[in-house]
Structures are given as C-alpha cells and as structure tokens.
A and B are shown apart, each in its own frame.
Chain A
Amino acid sequence: MSATAPPREAVEVRRSAEGLELELTGAWSAREVAAIEAALAAVDVAAAPRVRIATQGITELDLSGAWALRGFVRRARRAGAEVGFRGAPPDQLRLVDATLADEPAGSAAAATAAAPGEPGDRALVAIGRYVVRSGHAMEAGLAFLGRVCATFGASLAHPQRLRPISIARHVYDTGITAMPIVALIAFLISVIIAYMSAQQLRGLGADIYVVDLVTIGVLRELGVLLTSIIVAGRSGSAFAAELGSMKLNEEVDALTATGADPIELLVVPRVLGLTIALPLLTIIADLIGLAGGALLCRYLLEMPLSQYVNRVSESISATTFWVGIIKAPVFALLIATAGCYRGMQVRGSARELGHLVTVAVVQAIFLVIMADALFAVLFMQMKI
C-alpha cells in the first residue's frame, strides 16, 4: 500500500552553469501530491536561465501529479527561465494544459472568493437586508395562514374535500402517539409545583393552598403550555420535515401538476388534525397533572384524597378549565402553520431542509409563548 510506503524524494535537483537539471522520480499521484508540492516549492528557480526536466524516472503519473508539475513549470517560466523536457513532455501534462488552456487568471480563487466591499457598508447592507427580508417573511407567513384559512373555508362547503381519513391519520400521529410523553411531563410538572410550593407553604401552615397552586397552575397555564411545547417539538418538526422532503422530491409539484391543491391536500389536514389533537392532549395533561398533585398531597402532605378533591372543587371556578383549554386550538393553529409553512419553503438542498425544520420548531415555540402572553393580558382585562 502506498499509504504506508516510506516517503520518496520526488525531485532530485542538480545545479550546473547552464541552470537546473530536475530528475523526477517515484509516484507522482494524487496520494503524493502534498509531498510533491512541498518538494517542488523547495526548488529555487530564481537566477536559473534554463530548467531541464527529466520525467523518465516517474513510476506513476496521474493528473494530480501533472497538475503539480504544470504549476512548477509556470512558476519557472514566470521567473524568466527557459523550461524544457528531456524527451517529450508527458501526455498527462499535455492533457492538463489542454484542459486548463483558456483558464482566466486566478479563476480558482475567484470561484471561492467572497464579494469585496467596505466592512462598515457591508454591515449596514446586511442589517438593511435582514430588516427587509424579515418584513417580507412576516408578510409571506400571514399570506400562507390566510391561504390555509381560505382553503379550509372553501372546503367547508364540500365536506368530502376535508379529507377525514387524512385528518384522522394526523390526529393519530400528533395526538395518540404523543399521549405517553405528554402524560409523563404533566405528571412531573405537577410534582414539581406541589413539591416546591409545599416546601414554602408548610412553614406558614398553609399546606392546603398547595392544592390551589397545582390545580390553577396546571389547568390555566402549564397543562396547555407544556403540551404545546412538546407538540411543537414533535409535530411542528415532523410537518416541516415531511413537507420539506416532499418538496425536494418534487411530490408537491406533482400534486400541483395533477390539478390538486397542495394546501388543501397536505396543509389543511395537518392543521385540522393538530387542532383536534392538541385540545385532547391538553385534557389528558390536565387530568394527569391533577392526579399527580393528588398523589403528592397524599404522600407528602398526608392529605386524605377526599380532602384534596374537596379543595380542588373549591379552588377552581367555572372558567378555570376552559381558560386553559380554549388556548389549545389557537396554539395548534400556530404550530401547524409554522411547521407547514417552513416545510413548503424548502427547495434545493438537504441543508435547507434541516435549517427550515429548526426554524419551524423555534418559531412555533416562540409563537405559542407569545400567544400565551397575549391570552394572559386578555384574560386579566376580562377579569376571568
């Protein structure tokens, strides 16, 4: 194996009155190019009127080796030397010359170099571009939401276009399969709240208010919020990845070409499916959260179950549960729209798919939390 062979001298240099005599030896192949380049770079061509190159000692010459040789020949010629070969120049060198014959100067660098410009200007331009692009992105996102709503509205008139089977599949994928993780997280969160508040309230002799904290906290805020965040991570990403790879695979174009509307066929069922699944998941999270609270009160505070149930029914008002659950469909709409929108934006590359899936999840979580904040203000104004 050449990889393990000892390094060979690729170039032997003899200096005479007439100039340089180069004896090339060994394998001039792609695997040796780094060593060859180094050996050639060490040859000082300055003040040598003639350079003679003998290639007969080369055991293997491929294009990479020939390319390195060509680089040296050009360097010697630029330095003013007259370069010649003993015998005919190798075929490979002629091939490289022919391939790169019309190469404009520095085109290798040009292919990789970035656009020049003043650093200050560039920063300003970048900020400007970012702002304009963000504006366009927001506009496009709203337009997408509008299209989804319009398509949904139009298909209400023709219920068979709502695709009940597709919706059921998405309820299953986003809802049923998410139940274990949602239940587990709801249980753990209620344990955390109960445990923390019990520590604080015990000192005041106000143990009983642990129940209020768990109940109101889980029902009003945490049940729906945490469920939404889990679902954003699970299903928001899945929507973006599914639609994105369908875009890459030209499946979306194929749908459009057959006269089907991808929004109606792909996006609306996902949005509706999640809008059905998320409130149901929230109910489960609420129930498990309350059960977790009961368990902890029973064993941590030694509160009988009957007392816990009494306290729960005292602490909640008629609206407590509904204030939480009403947010679920709104959050679902935001998560599904963000996921589908980003998925439909994918074109071109696998890297873009990864990027847009990330964006979809981050935006879905951001939108959910922002909407939750708006709900909090709204409910306070409504004195609920």
Chain B
Amino acid sequence: MEPVVEVRGLVNRFDGQVVHDQLDMQVQEDEVFGIVGGSGAGKSVLLRTILGLQRPVAGTVRIRGRDITNLSEPELRPIKARYGVAFQEGALYTGLTVLQNVQLPMIEHLALAPDALAGLALLKIRLVGLPADAAGKYPAQLSGGMVKRAAVARALALDPQLLFLDEPTSGLDPVSAAAFDDLVLYLQQHLKLTIVMITHDLDSIFRTCNRVGVIVDKRMESDTLERIVEHPNPWIQAYFHGERARARLGGERGA
C-alpha cells in the first residue's frame, strides 16, 4: 500500500550545521506514528519540511504519492486542505474566538452558508470534547488543555484524513494529558485518521502510537513500538529504558 507520508533522503542544513542527513520516514494509512528525538534533534524542522513550510536542501517529501518539495504555493493549497495541523502552543489566532478560529479554514476553502459554518464549527468543537460555551471564548480565556483541544478542532475543520500533532501533551498535567491521549485514540478510531505526532511523552507513545520513528544521528530509525524499544542504539536504549521509562514498559498500547 502506498504510504500516506513518505520522506526519502531528506537533508536539512542551516548555516553549515547539518540537521538531517539522508533521513527516511514512512507513515502508513490508519496508523498513529510517533516522532521522537532529543531536544534539537530536528523534530520540528522535520515537521516543517513535511508541511511545506520549509524547503529541504535535498530529498523528497511525498504526501499521498505527490512530491511537495518543488510545488509552488498555489499548487500546495489543495494538498494543505487535506491535512490538519495542531501546533505545539496551539497557535490559535488570539484575536478570534474559538468558533471563529475553527471557521477560518472553512471560510478559506469551502463556500458555506453562515448556518452551516456555525453548525460545522460547533460540531468540531464538541468532537474534541470542548463544551459548547467555549466556542464564544477567546484563546486567552482558555486553559492550556482547552487550547490544545481547540487547536485540534481547528485542524479538523476540513475533515482531513491526515493529522499532524506537535507535542500535543507537553505542558499538560498528567490527567489532562491522559485525556488528550484518549481523544487522539477516539479520533483515530472513529474518523480513521492517520496521525503523525511529535512527542516526548512516554505515556503518550505507549498509549497511542503504533509505530515510532526516533531521530538519532540525523537519521530516523523507525519500527513498531514493540520492536523499537529493543533497538540497540544507545540513545534509543536510554530513552526507552531510562529511569522514567522503566515503569512504562509493562504497559501496552490502549490498555
């Protein structure tokens, strides 16, 4: 089956500093793919490259078989309408209410009547577990967990089949983070989404991810969760078998 996202031979360099060197990555249909890596390993750069926010020095990025690295902005537009992104800090538009935030992609891409616009936006807001009265609030009035949920609601505005989440549980308390993991699983199962998730959160990885890609030495080692924890690379060993991880290894995904 054709991968949903396929990165081949990716090279990223900034001012002579190599971030990625021949990095490969594949995300299959209907899976939750976790991207893991140390601080500064280039997780966010990878995401920005996949999203077309940044052009790589070399290599290809295919989304559903289409190479996006050499597309112009107008050519990228229909591709961008088919995936959703929730940024790390939410990146909600601070001057708009939650409802308006969710409506903005719809206004940009769909020609909808005001009633449909309001109804669909409210559906997405309720879908991510926000109460209806959050719709009229501004981002500054929301808690951290609610901001993350609102960001997901906005990412789902156009009913994408592919969802990118950048550190969705960072900055959340364990209870909210666990609730967010439940949301990710709920969305993945009910909407048949393919989810690519950057995360540091071991709980999140063990609970939600099918496969994990670890960025080590400017490349990516990816495998199923069960097998990646046995990978011999010292950083991966330290990551999955460190003090903080040991308690988790008994647990299983979705348990």
Q: Which residue of A lies closest to B93 (CB)?
A: A350
Q: Are A349 and B95 in contact (CB under 8 A)?
A: yes
Assuming the A-B contacts A33-B116, A91-B190, A103-B132, are A349 and B99 also in contact, with contact meaning beta carbons closer than 8 angstroms in the complex? no
Question: Does B111 lie at the interface of the complex (its beta carbon under 8 Å from any beta carbon of A)?
Answer: yes
Question: Does A52 lie at the interface of the complex (its beta carbon under 8 Å from any beta carbon of B)?
Answer: no
Q: Are A107 and B95 in contact (CB under 8 A)?
A: no
One of A62, A95, A108, A348 near B119 (C-beta < 8 A): A108
| B interface footprint on A190-201 (CB within 8 Å = 1, 0 otherwise) | 000000000000
Question: Does A383 lie at the interface of the complex (its beta carbon under 8 Å from any beta carbon of B)?
Answer: no
Question: Does A111 lie at the interface of the complex (its beta carbon under 8 Å from any beta carbon of B)?
Answer: yes
Interface residues on B, range: 35 or more
Selecting from A64-72, A77-85, A304-312, the interface stretch reads A64-72
Residues of A within 8 A of B156 (CB): 63
Residues of A within 8 A of B132 (CB): 103-104, 107, 111
Bound state CA distance, A33 and B123, in angstroms? 14
Assuming the A-B contacts A31-B110, A37-B116, A67-B119, are A349 and B140 also in contact, with contact meaning beta carbons closer than 8 angstroms in the complex? yes
Q: Are A348 and B94 in contact (CB under 8 A)?
A: yes
Q: Are A62 and B138 in contact (CB under 8 A)?
A: no
Q: How far is the CB of B188 from chain A (nearest CB, A)?
A: 13
Residues of B within 8 A of A111 (CB): 99, 118, 122, 132-133, 135-136
| A interface footprint on B113-127 (CB within 8 Å = 1, 0 otherwise) | 101101110111011
Q: How far is the CB of B143 from chain A (nearest CB, A)?
A: 14
Residues of A within 8 A of B122 (CB): 100, 103, 107-108, 111
Q: Which residue of A lies closest to B114 (CB)?
A: A112
Q: Which residue of B lies closest to A32 (CB)?
A: B110
Question: Does B168 lie at the interface of the complex (its beta carbon under 8 Å from any beta carbon of A)?
Answer: no
Q: Which residue of A lies closest to B137 (CB)?
A: A111
Q: Which residue of A lies closest to B123 (CB)?
A: A67
One of A34, A68, A112, A348 near B111 (C-beta < 8 A): A34
Bound state CA distance, A111 and B136, in angstroms? 5
Question: Does B18 lie at the interface of the complex (its beta carbon under 8 Å from any beta carbon of A)?
Answer: no
Q: Are B95 and A350 in contact (CB under 8 A)?
A: yes
Bound state CA distance, A96 and B116, in angstroms? 14
Question: Does A275 lie at the interface of the complex (its beta carbon under 8 Å from any beta carbon of B)?
Answer: no
Question: Does A3 lie at the interface of the complex (its beta carbon under 8 Å from any beta carbon of B)?
Answer: yes
Question: Does A29 lie at the interface of the complex (its beta carbon under 8 Å from any beta carbon of B)?
Answer: yes
Question: Does A351 lie at the interface of the complex (its beta carbon under 8 Å from any beta carbon of B)?
Answer: yes
| B interface footprint on A82-126 (CB within 8 Å = 1, 0 otherwise) | 000000000100011001100110011101100000000000000
Bound state CA distance, A91 and B190, in angstroms? 8
Number of interface residues of A (CB under 8 A): 32
Question: Does A204 lie at the interface of the complex (its beta carbon under 8 Å from any beta carbon of B)?
Answer: no
Question: Does A1 lie at the interface of the complex (its beta carbon under 8 Å from any beta carbon of B)?
Answer: yes
Question: Does A30 lie at the interface of the complex (its beta carbon under 8 Å from any beta carbon of B)?
Answer: yes
Assuming the A-B contacts A29-B159, A91-B190, A104-B132, are A99 and B123 also in contact, with contact meaning beta carbons closer than 8 angstroms in the complex? yes
Q: Are B112 and A33 in contact (CB under 8 A)?
A: yes
Q: Are B139 and A100 in contact (CB under 8 A)?
A: no
Q: How far is the CB of A126 from chain B (nearest CB, A)?
A: 20
Q: How far is the CB of B173 from chain A (nearest CB, A)?
A: 19
Assuming the A-B contacts A3-B78, A95-B190, A112-B99, are A349 and B138 also in contact, with contact meaning beta carbons closer than 8 angstroms in the complex? yes
Q: How far is the CB of B80 from chain A (nearest CB, A)?
A: 12
Q: Are A351 and B95 in contact (CB under 8 A)?
A: yes
| B interface footprint on A1-37 (CB within 8 Å = 1, 0 otherwise) | 1010000000000000000000000000111011001
Q: How far is the CB of B183 from chain A (nearest CB, A)?
A: 12
Assuming the A-B contacts A37-B113, A63-B159, are A96 and B123 also in contact, with contact meaning beta carbons closer than 8 angstroms in the complex? yes
Bound state CA distance, A31 and B105, in angstroms? 11
Q: Are B126 and A99 in contact (CB under 8 A)?
A: yes
Q: Are A62 and B113 in contact (CB under 8 A)?
A: no
Give residues 162-196 of B contacting A (CB, 8 Å): 190-191
Residues of A within 8 A of B127 (CB): 63, 95, 99
Q: What would be 21 A-B contacts, judged by CB atoms less than 8 Å apart? A: A30-B106, A30-B109, A30-B110, A30-B157, A30-B159, A33-B110, A33-B116, A34-B112, A37-B113, A63-B127, A63-B156, A64-B120, A67-B123, A95-B190, A99-B127, A100-B123, A100-B126, A107-B122, A107-B132, A112-B118, A350-B93
- The 7 lowest CB-CB distance pairs between A and B, nearest first, are A351-B95, A349-B94, A348-B140, A62-B159, A111-B135, A30-B159, A108-B118
A-contacting residues of B (Cβ < 8 Å)?
A: 78, 81, 93-95, 99, 106, 109-113, 115-116, 118-120, 122-124, 126-127, 132-133, 135-136, 138-140, 156-159, 190-191
